[in-house]
Chain A
């Protein structure tokens, strides 16, 4: 029993704490990055008062939210009202267990990693739906309904995009998917799976309820949607969950379509040895940051979608596109077309 404790439990708890601590820090500075990036896009400076160049702004925001009172609406469903933020943040953190940060640097190297991520992230919608219902407020309820319909619709397109990755790599294990993309920047799956890559990322933006798909919040229509009744730390937890989900979608896009921890200079004569000393983690984080920047860029650029247009895009555009591309890559895989899918499909009857 003691062996189990020291051999497995304690190191794993240490790793979990490390991942969560770094993630929380990343979330805090993502909020600052968002305000700064959008500020410069709109020809403003953004926050620059707290600390040098505004670097302590997220700390100040966090402290403010911690010290604020949590208001519990009188006719709300109290248990569910308190449970909702927990249900929102739980899946957002749990999904990080299977993300490979470098070769062998992964908390739980499970075989069905991709499926696990999809299943866990699909749980996140409960936080929003329960928050909207328990608040006993019309605006919150409308936000929850919109969010439920939207997330379930886009999950299908997202799932199909991931099936494409699965067919190409021949594995559900995230580390093996990265290893299958070896060979340089043109071997990464963004090229052969380009339509799926676009569908995945746009669906990811929709799944996290970010602009231009933020109809669950829709300030101009339903005040703030599902979290209109939340204040203080309870509100901050919804915020944390949303940003943790954003980073998760970005790191998954980097892992599945942009070669994960692999160096972009692989196979290029002079540059490859020049950058060989850079650890894989740095490449992964750079790719993730690129996707996060695109998230912010999209938010600063596009106006919000109208609700029926969101549904139309999900059901009538994305799902057919992914279905067609699945047939194409299956054909490419079976007949061994192109340099990408050189893993052999074994067809043997048991």
Chain B
């Protein structure tokens, strides 16, 4: 039963991953990437890594890819220009692909990474989340803190790169609240006009 499910999800994952790089339309490619993330979350769930699986969906599918889609939808990509360099870069691309496949086989081949070497972990009584949290804040506390500092630096850097203080057209809410009607509207008292023919009341 577990094997059937695994091959089912693995099949979908491979299909989705292939579609991501072959499909022409960038929006569809992004949507296939969503499918790929979702199926890999399902595979993680089968390994009883529920916290990781759900956070994969939460972070990547729920936030990162939404923003990705946001950007991709705004782009106006000429797909014919993308196809031009295909034959020229093919030999180099193939070489890199073959190298990566060889490396993956060397590390992740059935000899080192099969079910016999790395058995499916027994389901423990303690919740996955608790164990992860405890490990992160005790054994791996320094790498964890350093990673978060690096991420914060990256955020600050990204914001400073795009921030152009002189060209911004933002409104200051405090200024908006402080505005009174007499700052904007001036009531002028004028004498009423006379009728042109000079008869009757104005």
Query: Is A69 part of the binding interface, using a Cβ–Cβ cutoff of 8 Å?
Result: no
Q: Could you tell me the distance between the alpha carbons of A204 and B25 in the complex, rounded to whole angstroms?
A: 33
Nearest A residue to B131, CB-CB: A350
Q: Which residues of B in the span 167-182 have a Cβ within 8 Å of any Cβ on A?
A: 170-171, 173
- Contact between chains at A348 and B62 (CB < 8 Å): no
**Contact with B138, one of A122, A308, A350 (Cβ below 8 angstroms):** A350
What number of A residues sit within 8 Å (CB to CB) of B?
31
Q: Of A115, A120, A144, A152, which contacts B63 at CB under 8 A?
A: A152
B58 near A115: Cβ-Cβ < 8 Å: yes
Q: How far is the CB of B81 from the nearest CB of chain A, in Å?
A: 21
In the complex, what residues of B have CB within 8 A of residue A144's CB?
A: 73
Kindly identify which residue among A122, A126, A145, A350 contacts B135, using a CB–CB cutoff of 8 Å: A350
Question: Which residue on chain B has the smallest CB distance to residue A124?
Answer: B62
B48 to chain A: closest CB distance in Å? 11
Contact indicator A111/B70 (Cβ below 8 Å): no
Q: B51 on the interface (CB 8 Å rule)?
A: yes
Cα–Cα distance between A300 and B107 once the two chains are bound (Å): 62
CB-CB under 8 A from A151, the residues of chain B are 66
- Would you give the 0/1 interface string for A107-146, flagging 1 where the beta carbon is closer than 8 Å to chain B? 0001110011011101101100110010000000100110
Once bound together, how far apart are the Cα atoms of A304 and B183, in whole Å? 25
Residue of A118, A309, A349 touching B58 (CB-CB under 8 A): A118
Complexed CA–CA distance, A104 and B131 (Å): 25
Q: By the criterion CB–CB under 8 Å, are A111 and B129 in contact?
A: yes
Q: How many A-B residue pairs have CB under 8 A?
A: 79
B134 within 8 A of A: yes
Interface of B is mostly: helix
A116 touches B138 (CB 8 A): no
Q: How far is the CA of A349 from the CA of B131 in the complex (A)?
A: 10
Once the chains bind, are A126 and B34 in contact (CB under 8 Å)?
yes
The verdict on B152 contacting chain A, using a C-beta distance below 8 Å, is no
Q: Are B134 and A348 in contact (CB under 8 A)?
A: yes
B61 touches A (CB below 8 Å)? yes
Closest to B135 in A: A350
Q: Which residue of B lies closest to A173 (CB)?
A: B127
The distance from the CB of B52 to the nearest CB of chain A, in whole angstroms, is: 10
Is B12 interfacial (CB-CB < 8 Å)?
no
Q: Which of B27, B61, B70 makes the CB contact (< 8 A) with A122?
A: B61
B50 near A110 with CB under 8 A, answer yes
Asked if B31 is at the interface of the complex by the 8 Å CB criterion, the answer is yes
A268-322 residues with Cβ-Cβ distance < 8 A to B are 308-309, 312
B residues in contact with A130, CB < 8 Å: 31
CB atoms of A115 and B127 under 8 A apart:
no
Q: Are A119 and B69 in contact (CB under 8 A)?
A: no
Report A172 CB to chain B, min CB distance, Å. Answer: 6
Q: Does A149 contact B (CB under 8 A)?
A: yes
User: Is A86 part of the binding interface, using a Cβ–Cβ cutoff of 8 Å?
Assistant: no
- Which one of B62, B138, B139 lies within 8 Å of A155 (CB-CB)? B62
B61 touches A123 (CB 8 A): yes
Is B128 part of the binding interface, using a Cβ–Cβ cutoff of 8 Å?
yes
A112 lies within 8 A of B66 (CB)? no
Interface status of A148 (Cβ within 8 A of chain B): yes
| Shortest distance from the beta carbon of A160 to any chain B beta carbon, whole Å | 13
Within A43-75, which residues are at the interface with B (CB < 8 Å)? none
Contact A308 B66 (CB under 8 A): no
Among A112, A123, A133, the residue within 8 A (CB) of B50 is A112
> Any chain A CB within 8 A of the CB of B100?
no
Q: Are B127's CB and A126's CB within 8 A?
A: no
Residue of A nearest to B62 (CB): A122
> Cβ of B54 < 8 Å from any Cβ of A?
yes
Beta-carbon contacts under 8 Å, A318-350 to B: 348-350
Q: B residues within 8 A CB of A149?
A: 70
Known: A119-B55, A119-B57, A312-B173. A152 touches B66 (CB 8 A): yes
The 0/1 profile, CB within 8 Å of A marked 1, for residues 42-83 of chain B is: 000000001100110110011100110110011000000000
Bound form: Cα–Cα A155–B61 in Å: 13
- Give the CA-CA distance A89 to B50 in the complex, in Å: 24
Complex: how many Å from CA A168 to CA B27?
41
User: Do residues A308 and B171 form an inter-chain contact, with CB atoms below 8 A?
Assistant: yes
> How many Å from the CB of B68 to the closest CB on chain A?
10
**Complex-state Cα separation, A350 to B69, whole angstroms:** 41
What's the nearest-Cβ distance from chain A to residue B128, in Å? 7
Most-contacted residue by chain B among A119, A120, A144 (CB, 10 A): A119
- Asked if A129 and B66 sit within 8 Å, CB to CB, the answer is yes
CB distance from A221 to the nearest CB of B (A): 18
**Alpha-carbon gap, A80 to B50, bound state (A):** 30
- Can you list 20 residue pairs at the A/B interface with Cβ under 8 Å? A110-B50, A111-B127, A111-B128, A112-B128, A115-B51, A119-B57, A119-B58, A122-B57, A122-B58, A126-B69, A133-B73, A145-B70, A145-B73, A148-B69, A151-B66, A155-B62, A349-B138, A350-B135, A350-B138, A350-B139
Q: Which B residues fall within an 8 A CB radius of A? A: 27-28, 31, 34, 50-51, 54-55, 57-58, 61-63, 66-67, 69-70, 73-74, 127-129, 131, 134-135, 138-139, 170-171, 173
Given contacts A115-B129, A119-B62, 5 further A-B contacts (CB under 8 A): A111-B128, A115-B51, A115-B54, A129-B66, A152-B63
